[in-house]
Amino acid sequence: MRKLIWLLGAFFVISSQETFSQVARIDSIKFFTDDRPIEMTLTTDYRKLLNEKLKMAVQPATITLRFPDSSNYTGSVDINARGITRKESCIVPPIRLNFKHSSSDAMRSLHKLKMVCGCTNGSGDEQLALKEYLTYKIYNLITDLSFRVRLLHVTYNDSKGKAKTYSQYGFLIEDVDPLAKRNKCKETQKIAFATESTNRDQMTLVALFEYMIGNTDWSVPNYHNIKLITLKAEPNSLPIVIPYDFDYAGLVNAYYAVPAEELQLTSVTERAYRGFARSMEELEAAIKIFNDQKENIKNLIMNFEPLSSRSKKEMMAYLEEFYKTINNKNSVESTFIKGARTQ
C-alpha cells in the first residue's frame, strides 16, 4: 500500500511538473536568442485581414507556436495590419501580434511583436522576407545595440474556409523595451533630436551600416525607421540610434522599393551615404568592426538553408562592393568625408 501511495505521489509530482512546463511563460529575451525557426500556425478571417488592411483594424486570431524542443503554445491574440508602404504595396501586409491579452498565460510575456511576411504567398516574396531577416542578423554581428529577430515558418489558415491554406517563412522583430532592457537603457520618445545630437560612435556605425546595405529610407529627426534609447544610469547622455525596417535596402532589393526623388538615385541598389562626416581615425575604428565580421557575415548568408543560391550570390556580390569601398582609403575619404552630408 505504501509503495502504491508513493507511486501515485510521484505520478502527480511528475504530471504537475509537465503541466507547469507547458504553461511557464515564454522568456521574451531568450525567445530571440535561438536561431532555430519556430513553426507557427495563424488562423484568422484571412480575407478580412487582406481586404481591410488599409484600415489596420484589429481582429481576433488563434496562434500556435511549436518550438524546436517540441513544446507547444496555443492562444487567442489580436492582430492588425501594420506598416506604411507595405500595407499599400503588398497583397499580404505585415502584421502586428498583440499577445498582451492572449488566452494563453505563457504567451502574454511576448507583449506586442511585429511580424514580417512575404508580400504575396509566392516564393519570390518569401526570399525578400528572408533577405530582410538576414539584414537584421548582419547588424546583430556589428553591434548588440540592434533589434533581434526570430525566424518563423508560418502556416496561414482562413477561419472562414474561403482562402487556401499556405505556408511561408517570415520573422518576428524584438520589441524596443526588451532591447533597451538588455542594454541597460530605456526608450526615448517624442523629443526631436538632430542626427549629430546622438551618440557619435553608434551613429557612425548606423550610417556605415545603412550605406553597407544600401538603405536611404531613414531619418533620426523624424524617427523614421529608427528608435532612440538612453542609458538608464546616465539619463542626460546622448541617445543611441537603433535602425530597423530594411525592406527598402538595396541588399534586399524589393520590387516595390524606390529611392526618394530628392536623392536622384536610379534605384535602391545605388548606394548613397546619408551620414555626416567623420575623421579618418573615427572611420577606421568603425571599419575595423565591419572587417572583423566579414567572414561571419559570409558564413551567416551562405549557411542559411532557406535562402536560395541565387539570393545568396546576389547578397554576397552586393556586400563585396561595400567592402571594396571601405578598404580603399581614397574611396573612404571621397565617400564618407568629402561626400558626407553637411545638413
Provide DSSP, 163-177: S--EEEEEEEE--HH
Cell of 171: 520573422
Indicate the SS3 state at residue 322.
Answer: helix
Instruction: Sheet with 226-231: list strands edge to edge.
Output: 185-188, 226-231, 240-243
Residue 16: its pLDDT value, please? 40
Percent over 70 (pLDDT), the chain: 93
30: nearest Cα among 109, 94, 104: 109
Residue 327 φ/ψ region, left for φ over 0, alpha for ψ in the -120 to 50 degree band, beta for the rest: alpha
CB 148 within 8 A of CB 138: no
Residue 56: its pLDDT value, please? 87
What is the total residue count of the chain? 343
CB 66 within 8 A of CB 40: yes
What gap in Å lies between CA 6 and CA 124, rounded to an integer? 59
Indicate the SS3 state at residue 305.
Answer: coil
The shares of helix, strand and coil residues in the chain, as percent rounded to the nearest 5, are 40, 20, 40
pLDDT tens per residue across span 27-45: 888 899 999 999 999 999 9
pTM of the model: 0.92
Indicate the SS3 state at residue 77.
Answer: strand
Give the DSSP per-residue string, 195-212: GGGS-HHHHHHHHHHHHH
What gap in Å lies between CA 57 and CA 137, rounded to an integer? 31
Cell of 255: 520590387
Task: Determine which helix (DSSP H) or strand (DSSP E) holds 139, and give its type and residue range.
Answer: helix 123-142
pLDDT, averaged per 10 consecutive residues of the chain (343 residues), comes to 48 40 73 95 95 91 95 95 84 93 92 95 96 98 98 97 95 95 93 96 98 97 96 95 97 95 95 97 98 98 98 98 98 97 90
